[in-house]
């Protein structure tokens, strides 16, 4: 890690809720209860989708990948957050911060792209039902998943590596609960304009473009669903999309508010920064 940034400190102090310490215990309890539930739920989805041959369809193939991503995504931040909120030690090593930075953004970026692919799957299933098996064949699904994984890793590795090269000039205080790219850019010294611009451009492709694709897909789905005369058919179509839309809202909402706003004086105390840490 010395090669990445010669001016880096041995560890970072995470301020988190230093100005609102009364929030730490409730959030610790919430995370302690919901994290195991989320893990068990995702493991159950993966096992059922894999073992039940009736669920060997494109939708459940994508859902299995999403569940695996969600497990890795939450595990990259929640155990460290529990340690931070439940103890007196409010630090993270530089190596731990770098590892968290890579894994958090690989999983988050890949999940954004995968949700866009899942919306396309729902679009084809509802709007082009006669061509569904032809379009969403096994080879196409594997290729799409491989592409989103490659895209997520390329984004995270390139952006995180550039961020870790920023000089910190001995600064070791991060005004946040976890290590995120905007937080490290804010902590860096010297000229950071190009890094902030690069982050904004990259986020357009990783957040704005997938979200626009999802909204366009659901606009077409909504148009098709309202043409269905059977109320039972409309209910079934909306039922397959509602859970996906909820995940989209909780992932893209905090992500956009965190990554598309100018770096504020205090990231750690803004509501969007709390949500970006807990959006899983």
pTM (2 d.p.): 0.85
Measure the CA angle with vertex 150, ends 149 and 151; round to 5°. 90
CB-based burial, 238-275: b 16+ in 10 Å, e otherwise: eeebeebeebbeebbebbbebbeeeeeeebbbbebbbe
Beginning with the edge strand found earlier in the chain, give each strand of the sheet holding 11-14 in spatial order.
Answer: 91-93, 11-14, 173-174
Number of domains the chain contains: 1
> Which has the closest alpha carbon to 148: 117, 179, 181?
117
CATH value at residue 99: 1.20.1070.10
Domain contains 6? no
Per-residue pLDDT band for 110 (boundaries 50, 70, 90) equals very high
Burial, 130: exposed, middle or buried (Cβ in 10 Å; 0-12, 13-18, 19+)?
exposed
Domain that holds residue 19: 11-278
Sequence-separated (6 or more) residues with CB below 8 Å from residue 141: 58, 61, 62
Domain-embedded: residue 1 = no
Q: Which of 8-22, 108-122, 204-218, 250-264 has the lowest mean pLDDT?
A: 250-264
Is residue 248 in a domain?
Answer: yes
Distance between terminal CA atoms of the chain? 29
Residue 20 has pLDDT above 50, yes or no: yes
Query: pLDDT tens digits for 21-60?
Result: 888 899 999 999 999 999 999 999 999 999 998 889 999 9
Query: 77, 108 in Cβ contact below 8 A?
Result: no
- Per cent of the chain over pLDDT 70 is 90
Answer yes or no: is 5 within a domain. Answer: no
Q: Is the confidence at residue 68, as pLDDT, over 60?
A: yes
Q: Is residue 78 part of a domain?
A: yes
Whether the pLDDT of residue 278 is over 60: the answer is no
What average pLDDT does range 107-121 have in this prediction?
93
């Amino acid at each position: 890690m010395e090669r990445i940034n010669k001016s880096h400190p041995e560890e970072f102090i995470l301020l988190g809720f230093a100005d609102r310490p009364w929030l730490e215990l409730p959030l610790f309890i919430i995370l302690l209860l919901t994290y195991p539930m989320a893990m068990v739920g995702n493991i159950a989805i993966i096992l059922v989708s894999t073992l039940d041959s009736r669920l060997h369809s494109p939708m459940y193939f994508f859902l299995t990948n999403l569940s695996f991503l969600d497990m890795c995504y939450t595990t990259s931040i929640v155990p460290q957050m529990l340690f931070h909120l439940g103890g007196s030690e409010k630090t993270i090593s530089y190596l731990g911060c770098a590892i968290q930075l890579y894994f958090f953004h690989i999983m988050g970026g890949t999940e954004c792209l995968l949700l866009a692919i899942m919306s396309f799957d729902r679009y084809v299933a509802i709007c082009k039902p006669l061509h569904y098996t032809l379009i969403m064949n096994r080879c196409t699904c594997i290729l799409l998943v491989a592409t989103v994984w490659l895209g997520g890793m390329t984004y995270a590795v390139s952006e995180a590596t550039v961020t870790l090269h920023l000089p910190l000039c001995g600064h070791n205080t991060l005004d946040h609960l976890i290590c995120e790219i905007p937080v490290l850019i804010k902590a860096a010294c010297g000229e950071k304009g190009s890094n902030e611009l690069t982050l904004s451009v990259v986020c357009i492709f990783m957040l704005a473009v997938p979200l626009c694709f999802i909204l366009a897909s659901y606009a077409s789905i909504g148009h098709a669903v309202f043409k269905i005369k059977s109320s039972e058919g409309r209910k079934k179509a909306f039922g397959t999309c509602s859970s996906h839309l909820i995940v989209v809202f909780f992932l893209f909402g905090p992500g956009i508010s965190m990554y598309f706003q100018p770096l504020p004086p205090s990231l750690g105390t803004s509501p969007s920064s709390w949500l970006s840490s807990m959006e899983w």
